[in-house]
Chains A and B, each alone.
Chain A
Amino acid sequence: MRLDYPSNIRIILVPCSGKVDVKHLLHAIQQGADGAYVVGCLEGTCHYNDGNFRARERVEHVRMLLAEVGLESDRVRMYNLSSGEGPTFAAYAKEMTEHIKNLGPNPLKNKINA
C-alpha cells in the first residue's frame, strides 16, 4: 500500500489497546511527548470483547488528569479502526499531527526538573 504518514509519530505495539494503561499515557506527556493517541479496534469488534472500551475509558481518565494538572487534555486522544484500514490509519496520523501542531509543543519541555 506504501502509504505516507507523518514521520514524527513513534508507534508502540501492544497486543490489545486494552493493554494501554493510564500510566503509559501520562508518563509519555510527563517525559515531553507533545501528544499521545491510542488506536484501538472498532468498537464492538474487540477480540477480547472490551479491550478497546477499557482503553477509551483510560484515555478519558488521562484527559481528566491532564486538565487537573493544567495541560491541554486534547493532547491525548483515542481513535478506532480495523486492521484492514491502512488509509484510515494514515489519515488519523495526519489528523493527530496537525491537531498537536495547532496546540503547540508540550509546555513541560522547557521546565526544569526538581
Chain B
Amino acid sequence: MIVAKRKPFDEIKEYIKDYKKVLVAGCGTCVAVCLAGGEKEVDILNTELDMARRLDNNPLETGTITIERQCDVEYLEGLDDVVKDYEAILSMACGVGIQFLAERFPGIPVYPAVDTTGMSANLAVGLYEERCRSCGECVLGLTGGICPVTMCAKGLYNGPCGGTNNGNCEIDDDQPCAWFKIYERLATQGRLDNILKIKEPVGWNDQIPRTLIQPGYMKPEKDA
C-alpha cells in the first residue's frame, strides 16, 4: 500500500498561519491503514492546531472530514458543499489525493500535511518497509520475486556490483545484498539461467528500502 508520514508540525503550522478557518481532510484508505492520515490522525492534528493557535493568541477555527478516498472523484463530490466554508484545506492524503483535491477546488489553497514515502509492506503495527518503487518495468519474474530496484542501494537491474559483501551490501552490514538474495532464490528454484538475462538499466541512483516507524505504535520490545 501507499504509506506516508506526518509532516513536521511547525511546517504545517507555517502553511496555515494566515488563515482563520481551515478544513483538515483525511483519507480513509492507504494513509488510514498506515496510521498517517485517517480519521484518528485528522483528529490529532486538529487538536494540535487548536492548542498551538490558542497559545499564540491567534485562534483557528477548524473543521474535520475524512472521506473514503481523496484519489477518487466519486468520493470528492462529498466535499463540494463543505469546502466553501473554509479559507484553506490541509490534506492528509497521499500526494495523489492532495493533487486531486487541489484540482477539484482550484480556488482554495490545499496544503499537504503528510509526506508520501512510497509503497510498503506492513511488517508490524506501525512499522513499514518499502518493497516497490513503481519503476514501471517490473523484473520480479526474472529475479525470483525479489525487487533489485528497491532492495539494492544502486537499484541495479543487472547485479551485483563490486560492493557485495558476504551476502550484505557495502553500505550497511544490516542491509542484505539484493543480488545475493536473488542468486540464492533462483538457485533454490533451479532458475539460475534467469540471472544472465540482461535488463536495460534505468537511471536510478543510491536508494535503499526506506523504513518508517509511526510514533506511538512501535512496541519497545521490538526495538531491541
Contacts and interface: CB of A to CB of B under 8 A. Distances in A.
Given A69-B9, A111-B57, A113-B59, A53 B221 contact: yes
A54 B62 CA distance: 30
Interface in B36-88: 40, 43-44, 47-48, 50-55, 57, 59-62
A20 to B, nearest CB: 11
Given A29-B51, A108-B51, A68 B9 contact: yes
Contact of B220 (A56, A68, A69): A56
Nearest to B40: A23
Contacts of A65: 9, 44, 48
A68 B54 contact: no
A54 B219 contact: yes
11 contacts: A23-B43, A23-B47, A27-B47, A57-B216, A69-B52, A70-B55, A71-B51, A108-B54, A108-B55, A112-B59, A114-B61
A47 to B, nearest CB: 16
Contacts, number: 75
B54 A111 contact: yes
Interface of B is mostly: helix
B10 A57 contact: no
Given A65-B44, A114-B20, A30 B219 contact: no
A107 B55 CA distance: 7
Interface of B: 8-10, 20, 40, 43-44, 47-48, 50-55, 57, 59-62, 215-221
A26 interface: yes
Nearest to A109: B54
In order of increasing CB-CB distance, the 5 nearest A-B pairs are A61-B216, A114-B59, A111-B54, A68-B9, A114-B61
Contacts of A30: 47, 50-51
A64 interface: yes
A58 interface: yes
